[in-house]
């Protein structure tokens, strides 16, 4: 297998409404920044792999068809990946595999969402044939799981509030983040409306317009890159059915298996000790402690202790989402790729104010559907 490197990273300024740009302009803003970072132009790219959330969000069928020309893909291989909310991660993994399989030298991968042109709440609340019309978006789906987690773990009620504050404070250090809430406080989060009890408004991710792009390359092509690459040490994806008897929806098996496969590839036996930073897909603040357990950073039922002890803060022993995470910017299709790209920025020493000092090994994580698709990677500053 060829080594694969991240030689270019680009992202947009994420915002509630980027009406200065069309969808085309949005993906180009991220793609041209990634190419500039890699010292390349569209001409140097061998293939393009694009991802976004379901077409029903923006109501635009197969946008990859008209984005092909905007991304310089005409006459080149182009494909679209689709795995719901985890798509940004699995898109990057497909691109990485095209390099590690020795098929291409330089692959451009892009993911985006223009939520201001979409209605995700509506798209995620369809009238299902065998269910009453009660579904209320992603929050309506995940709130009962959070309630089950709190009951199972006996976590104190304010864990979700703590994560919500921590991630928004981190976002102040990230120039690309959507939410900028310098006054954020626990009292403010607690006072925000209870939308999907037990999830409050400020314990929820925003709706964002944004895109993320990366240039992935072979070791040979990485030699001429102007900046330090991040090396891909491991990639893994897993899925499981939405519903089956005995399914553990709070701590899904697919997530545990995906992490186990990932750590094995990367030679990791104690992720909390060996990883320097992690960008984890946390669209509702309570998912930080839940994923800490699913990913093996904490024993089952104890993920919330990491949050309360400050371990997951920037400056803690296991910084989670130093960029501010999904809680601060959520262009859905891009959110997973942003986690992967932010992990790469950390080990390249390019994360600016939200840099984890001396980060050598970092994880990117995304999940989608009803906690049923998982995509993860580990990147490092040294060759694997």
Partner 1 sequence: MSEPKPKQDEPIKRMLAPVRLEFTVSAGRDKTAFLGAIIEGRILGGRCPSCRKVYVPPRGCPTCGVEMVGDIPISDHGVVTTFCTVSIPFEGQTMKLPYVYASIVLDGADVPIFHLVDGIDAKDARMGLRVRADWRPPAERKPTMESIRAFVPTGEPDAAFDTYKEHL
For partner 1, the binding residues (CB under 8 A) are 19-20, 56, 59, 117, 119, 121-122, 125, 129-137, 139-140, 143-145, 147-148, 151-152, 193-199, 241, 243-246, 248-250
Residue 25: which residues within 8 A CB-CB, separation 6 or more? Answer: none
| DSSP-derived 3-state class of residue 24 | helix
Of 144 and 156, nearer to partner 1 (C-beta) is 144
> Residue 212 CB, nearest distance to partner 1 (Å)?
23
> Residue 57 CB, nearest distance to partner 1 (Å)?
11
Of 73 and 250, nearer to partner 1 (C-beta) is 250
Residue 253: which residues within 8 A CB-CB, separation 6 or more? Answer: 240, 247
DSSP string for 28-61: HHHHHHHHHHHT--GGG-SEEEEEES-TTTTT-S
> Residue 141 CB, nearest distance to partner 1 (Å)?
9
Q: Within its chain, how far is the Cα of 171 from the centroid?
A: 15
In whole angstroms, give the CA distance from residue 129 to residue 187.
42
In whole angstroms, give the CA distance from residue 127 to residue 122.
10
> Residue 239 CB, nearest distance to partner 1 (Å)?
12
Of 112 and 340, nearer to partner 1 (C-beta) is 112
Structure token pair of residue 256: 């545990």
Of 103 and 121, nearer to partner 1 (C-beta) is 121
> Residue 177 CB, nearest distance to partner 1 (Å)?
23
CB 290 within 8 A of CB 303: yes
> Residue 146 CB, nearest distance to partner 1 (Å)?
8
Identify which of 281, 277, 271, 264 has the alpha carbon closest to the alpha carbon of residue 347: 277
Q: What are phi and psi of 67, to 5 degrees?
A: -80, -15
In whole angstroms, give the CA distance from residue 298 to residue 289.
9
Of 19 and 317, nearer to partner 1 (C-beta) is 19
> Residue 247 CB, nearest distance to partner 1 (Å)?
8
In whole angstroms, give the CA distance from residue 347 to residue 344.
5
């Amino acid at each position: 297998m060829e080594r694969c490197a991240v030689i270019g990273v680009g992202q947009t300024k994420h915002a509630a409404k980027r009406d200065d740009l069309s969808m085309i302009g949005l993906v180009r803003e991220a793609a041209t920044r990634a190419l500039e970072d890699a010292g390349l132009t569209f001409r140097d790219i061998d293939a393009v792999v694009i991802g976004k959330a379901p077409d029903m969000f923006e109501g635009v069928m197969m946008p990859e068809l008209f984005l092909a020309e905007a991304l310089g893909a005409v006459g080149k291989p182009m494909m679209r990946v689709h795995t719901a909310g985890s798509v940004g991660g699995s898109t990057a993994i497909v691109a990485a595999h095209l390099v590690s399989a020795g098929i291409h030298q330089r692959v451009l991968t892009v993911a985006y969402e223009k939520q201001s042109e979409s209605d995700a709440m509506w798209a995620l609340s369809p009238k299902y044939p065998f269910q009453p019309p009660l579904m209320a978006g992603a929050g309506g789906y995940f709130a009962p799981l959070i309630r089950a987690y709190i009951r199972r773990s006996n976590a104190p009620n304010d864990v979700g509030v703590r994560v919500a504050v921590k991630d928004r404070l981190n976002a102040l250090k990230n120039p690309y983040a959507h939410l900028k809430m310098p006054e954020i406080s626990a009292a403010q989060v607690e006072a925000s409306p209870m939308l999907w009890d037990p999830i409050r408004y400020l314990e929820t991710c925003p709706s964002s317009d944004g895109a993320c792009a990366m240039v992935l390359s072979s070791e040979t092509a990485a030699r001429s890159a102007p900046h330090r690459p991040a090396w891909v040490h491991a990639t893994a994806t897993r899925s499981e059915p939405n519903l089956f008897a005995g399914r553990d929806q709070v701590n899904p098996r697919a997530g545990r298996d995906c992490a186990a496969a990932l750590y094995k590839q990367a030679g990791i036996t104690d992720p909390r000790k060996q990883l320097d930073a992690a960008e984890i897909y946390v669209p509702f603040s309570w998912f930080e402690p839940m994923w800490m357990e699913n990913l093996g950073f904490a024993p089952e039922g104890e993920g919330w202790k990491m949050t309360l002890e400050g371990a997951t803060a920037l400056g803690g022993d296991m910084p989670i989402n130093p960029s501010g995470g999904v809680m601060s910017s959520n262009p859905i299709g891009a959110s997973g790729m942003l986690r992967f790209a932010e992990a790469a920025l950390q080990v390249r020493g390019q994360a600016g104010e939200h840099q984890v000092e001396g980060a050598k090994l970092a994880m990117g994580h995304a999940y989608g559907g009803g906690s049923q698709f998982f995509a993860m990677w580990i990147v490092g500053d040294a060759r694997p």
